[in-house]
Structure 1
Amino acid sequence: MELQQMRYVLAVAETNSFTRAAQRCHVVQSALSHQIARLERELGAKLFERTSRRVRLTPAGTAFLPAARQCLEAAERAVGEVAAAVGEIRGRLAVGLIPTVTAVDVPGALGVFRQRYPHVRVSLRVGASDDLAAQVEQGTLDVAFLGLPTSARPAGVAAQELARDRLVAVVAPDHPLVGEHMVDLRRLADETFVDLPAGTAGRSQTDDAFTAAGLDRDVAFEVTTADYIARLVRPGLAVAMLPAAYAPELTGVTIVEVVDAPSRVEYAIWNHFGCTPAATAFLEILDIGPLVDVGSYRSR
């Protein structure tokens, strides 16, 4: 069994396509297919179900995937540790963040990092706090920056609190609430909302606040990015609640303070088994960690 075979399996699993996996791995499809078939013979089990229309993991493939990912991560960590021992930072740095992070300048820090450590392969993934936390725990990401309700904390990872922030209402420039010095959740409950998908950490902080106040609200629009939230707010289709530190970055909308608004906490997280040399160097640029603080966060 070879590491390259594992890389091919992961690529197919993540793209659901032998063609796209070959393109990602910069090999011809026949070579990738041959190596996976060779691995399947060695394992004595098919890893993928192949039809003319789709490719998907078999139960054996699903069982194989986590261990294969851990092997590849261990190999990358070994390369990085050896390089660090001789005074170099190499390997990879995989960073994740939610779009509304404001406590740290992640793009700026990545720019400094690439100048200092040009031999590190840097990648960035933007997503939801729940997904990013799981990927850090699994080792897919090295570091991530989250925003969680004050009632939740990251678990299964090392974490450091960065900042706390209240939410504000974001409305169209001609909305009737413009000009109000401050509103409350009861007044906002009459509005139509746009928010993140139900069940995400970013959504639950607002849902929990309305529930605690004994109020219902109408979330007619569910989107996955904050910039698209603003696109629906501008023409007056809906109102939204976003972190006060992030909301001023949006254009064409007006901010209204909310007296009983919920708060959120921004965290930096990394694997509780420790950081790679590259991740440690990146956190040092941001003056973060490595302090272990395992909490009780659960996907909501």
Structure 2
Amino acid sequence: MDLRQLEYFVAVAEEANFTRAAARLHVVQSAVSTTIKNLERELRTPLLERTPRRVLLTDAGAALLPRAHAALDAVREGADAVGEVRGGLRGTLRLGAIATIGLIDLPVFLGEFHRRHPGVFLQTSAAPSGSRGLIEALLERRLDLAFVSGPGPPPTGVTLTTLATSALDLVVPAAHPLAKRGTVSITELAGLDFVDFPSGYSNRTVADRAFAAASVPHRVAIEITDLTTGVAYVRNGLGVALLPRVALGEEQDIATLTVDDADLEWQFFLAAPSERTPGAASHAMIAMAHEFLWQG
């Protein structure tokens, strides 16, 4: 076995698909197929079961996967150690981020990281299912770190570093009957049309739990994927919304109210897998996230 064979095997195992694995590795699919076949020939056993819809691990493949991960992690740690001795970080850092996190200007943040660590290749991605999808990508080893948000304890296998905590405030148009109020009860929100994120996004999870706890229906009329769009829908009278107070800033033609009898705490985290040691580049980004976020 060589490291390239292990890298290709891990990519196919994680993607459950040869085409996606080849795209991830930036090679042609035939190279991936040939490399896996050579590895199976050397080990004298099938590692993958090819089906029309997806690729599955055989028992032998399942036994090899954690050891392949360990070998690749060890190589990465060795390269990190040499890079530090030579005076600079090297390697690839795969970062996930929810579409609009409000607390951080991601291009500015990543630009500063690149200036400090030009030898690190940054790959960033979002997930259509929000924080939940990014957590799944971390657990599946498709990401090294992710900016996520959400309520409750961390999922098994993930370590969360808290970067900010905020309440979700009720946002209404300036002309709304509730606009002159400072606070509101969650029971008063029954029957209102809400602008909210899809299921799986942390804002939606926090809101759904609060409404369920109060036995109040949560009627979502419009689904969004970023805060700015949500505020615009509210401003134009298409609904009300529950959005993080810390990310709202000074907005025109809307009013914000505190829901005083519901648990609407929203948290913002940097998430990392707890079952593998973060590389030097990950450590550097974690440290910079604290520094960068709290400057404002």
Range of TM-score over shorter length: 0.7 to 0.9
Structure 1 residues 84 and 229, CA gap change in structure 2 (3 angstroms): same
**What residue is the counterpart of 2:56 in the other structure?**
57
**Corresponding position of 2:281:** 278
Shift of 1:168: 1.8
Match of 1:79 in 2: 79
SS at match of 1:190: coil
| 1:295 aligned partner | none
Q: Could you say what secondary structure the match of 2:258 adopts?
A: coil
- Aligned partner of 2:37: which letter? A
Of residues 226-235 and 160-169 in structure 1, the stretch that sits farther from structure 2 once superposed is 226-235
Deviations 1:57-95 (CA, angstroms, capped at 9, x unpaired): 244487255554443333223211221133221112222
Give the aligned partner of residue 39 of structure 2.
Answer: 39
After superposition, residues 121-136 of structure 1 pair within 5 angstroms as 121-127=121-127, 128-136=130-138
User: Residues 13-24 of structure 1: matches in 2 within 5 Å?
Assistant: 13=13, 17-24=17-24
CA distance in structure 1 between the partners assigned to 2:200 and 2:289 by the alignment: 30
Report what 2:194 is aligned to.
Answer: 193
Rate the CA distance shift 1:45–1:193 in 2: closer, same or farther, 3 A: same
Asked whether the 8 Å contact 2:164–2:268 carries over to 1, the reply is: yes
Report the Cα offset of residue 47 of structure 1.
1.0
Within-5 A mapping of 1:88-127 = 88-127=88-127
**Structure-2 change in CA distance of 1:270 and 1:193 (3 Å):** same
Could you tell me how far apart the structure 2 residues matched to 1:276 and 1:113 are? 15
Amino acid at match of 1:282: M
Residue correspondence of structure 1 range 142-153 to structure 2 within 5 A? 142-149=144-151, 151-153=152-154
Identity %: 36
Measure, in 1, the Cα distance between the counterparts of 2:159 and 2:21.
32
Equivalent AA in structure 2 for residue 111 of structure 1: G
- Number of positions where the alignment pairs a residue of Structure 1 with one of Structure 2: 284
Deviation at 1:120, TM superposition (A): 0.8
- Answer yes or no: is the 8 Å Cα contact 2:46–2:58 preserved in 1: no
Per the normalisation by structure 1, the TM-score is: 0.75
- Kept in 1: contact 2:40–2:46 (CA 8 A): yes
Is the Cα contact below 8 Å between 1:129 and 1:202 reproduced in 2? no
CA distance in 2, matches of 1:195, 1:42: 53
Segments of 5+ residues of structure 2 without an aligned counterpart are 292-296
Q: Give the Å deviation of 1:243.
A: 0.6
Flag the 1:197–1:253 CA change in 2: closer, same or farther, 3 A: farther
CA contact 1:247–1:255 (8 Å) conserved in 2: no
Distance 2:106 2:142 in 1: 18
Which shows bigger deviation, 232-241 or 184-193? 232-241
Cα deviations by residue, 1:4-42 (Å, 9 ceiling, x for unpaired): 223333444565654454344333333222112222333
Contact 1:136 1:271 (C-alpha < 8 Å) held by counterparts: yes
- TM-score relative to the length of structure 2: 0.76
Q: Which residue of 2 is the match for residue 162 of structure 1?
A: 163
Classify 1:56/1:192 alpha carbon distance in 2 versus 1 (closer, same or farther; 3 Å).
farther
Stretches of structure 1 lacking an aligned partner (at least 5 in a row):
289-300
8 A contact 1:205–1:263 mirrored in 2? yes
Question: Residues 33 and 109 of structure 1: is their aligned pair in 2 closer, same or farther, counting only changes over 3 Å?
Answer: same
